[in-house]
Amino acid sequence: GRGKRFAHTKRHREEGRTKVSMSSEQKGGSLANARFYERIRSYFAYKLNAVKGKEGTPTTKQLVAYIHGMKLQVDSVLGGNRPAKVIDPIIAAFSSIGWDWGKNAPKGMEPPTIKTVTEMLTSCCKTFFDLVRIERQKVAEKLEPTESDLQSLDNGVDKLWELDVKNRLKPGKDYELDLQCGKKPYHEGDRAPRPLFKYVNEEAINQRPTYKAFLNLLDNYERAVAVPEVETYHEKKEIQTFLNKIMETDVMKYCHQWLEKKKLTSGDVGAFKKLLQKIWFEPYKREYHSKAPDSSGFEHVFVGEERDGKIIGCHNWIQLWHEEKHGNLNYLGFIYPKRRGADRDEDEHLMTIQYEWREGKGDKTWEIKPVGTSWVGVSPEFEIALYTMCFLAGEKENNIDVGPYRVLIKCYFIMRNDGDSRRKLKYLSTSYPEEAPYTKEEDSYNRF
């Protein structure tokens, strides 16, 4: 009857749920859905981190005040429109610790404890992680860029993460990191007595054509800046093999289509491969006074160089693993994240580390890389696509979402003469990720 319908509406209003089935953030399809759920998951992860980091056992009064403030923050995170699949599990989670969501007060049952609050927050993290996963799987179902993908570089590159699932190595299965102790960039000494890579499944690498082709490129370069690069016929063939292999992947097919629709490249595959070769492999003078070309985008970003006793570039995890495996890289420890208080996780696909590197076992001098951020486990084509899109369609600094990571992709170019002519050409100087620092809002979530 009328009274029941009214009561139903009133209950929903009190519990914070509306009849609107989709929030404004979700109208952009699966990618927007995933980001909406990820924002909620991240919020509960911040709160869980704050609870775990709390010194001493909080009193019941402190916990009640904490949960009361948390409810208000959740309201802010969710915004005005709240689909049932979002608000219902949150209300249930708060109810499990004896909290009345509508009144934002204890129900008068058994008071919450640090244990029950921790369990509640852990449950919320899992709930929204699962929702993110479901929506992100839908993102990769359509290879052709959607209208939403084309709206921004942020949307465009985010899809690369889902397309890379097929070729990306899985932490805990295909590789395992041993991060050990953290440090500040200026801290001296070795805080990691063991290697960085505890285990890498070489069979998984050898089964992936793009990985094998990538490995063949790593010994093609002179490490020192200002030493001219001489490209042999065999090395040129290895470059072509690599480009051919990556262009067979969904990641690079999507990258090509996205750039074509943005009118930044031709639809012809051959022409696009030539563009990739120019961006990544065409040599140029990194040192302006060099007598001949001594660098390239690929060498700097993926292989690394040495200048004035310091390592520059070298942002690729496969190169780091390869050099450590051969005894040429000494891991010194991970760098404390900009996201203060966040723990480092061996299951992550992003790491910021410090290490020293030598040029073969006959080299007695170890050059240091004070801070280096790299993706881990991702395929070579993922990084080529990501940085190519940033170089052609982005800025010098691009604050974007890539899968579950909020990162700052730095992408700098260098202007050099075209051979003997006076015409200046734009070359890729470097590109790499950095963890985006907390916003003020996120920082407030991270406090008890």
Kindly list the catalytic residues. 300, 315, 369
Token pair recorded at residue 12: 């929903």
Give the three-state DSSP class for 406.
Answer: strand
Residue type, 151: Q
Q: At what angle do helices 84-96 and 30-52 cross, to 10 degrees?
A: 20
Question: How many angstroms separate the CA atoms of 150 and 148, rounded?
Answer: 5
Buried b / exposed e over 431-440, threshold 16 CB at 10 Å, is: bbbbbbebee
Degrees to nearest 5, angle at CA 170 with 165 and 176: 155
Please enumerate, as own/partner, the contacts of 261-264 that have beta carbons within 8 Å and a separation of 24 or more.
261/145, 261/150, 262/150, 262/393, 264/392, 264/393
Burial class (CB in 10 A: 0-12, 13-18, 19+), 341: middle
d(CA 212, CA 223): 21
Classify 377 as helix, strand or coil: coil
Scan for tokens 């899809």, then name that residue: 159
E strands, 277-394, where?
A: 305-307, 310-312, 329-335, 350-357, 367-375
Cα atoms in the 13 Å half-sphere on the side-chain side of 379: 29
Angle between helices 60-78 and 114-139 (to 10 degrees): 20
Q: Are 181 and 343 in contact, with CB atoms under 8 Å apart?
A: no
C-alpha to C-alpha distance for 163 and 145, rounded to whole angstroms: 12
- Strand 329-335 relative to strand 182-183: parallel, antiparallel, unpaired? parallel
Return d(Cα 131, Cα 89) in angstroms, integer: 11
With CA atoms as reference, report the closest residue to 432 among 350, 351, 374, 368. 374
b vs e for 231-253, b when ≥16 Cβ sit within 10 Å of the residue's Cβ? eeeebeebbebbbebbbebbbbb
Residues sharing a CB contact under 8 Å with residue 247, sequence separation 6 or more, in sequence order: 253, 256, 269, 272, 273
> Is residue 430 helix, strand or coil?
strand
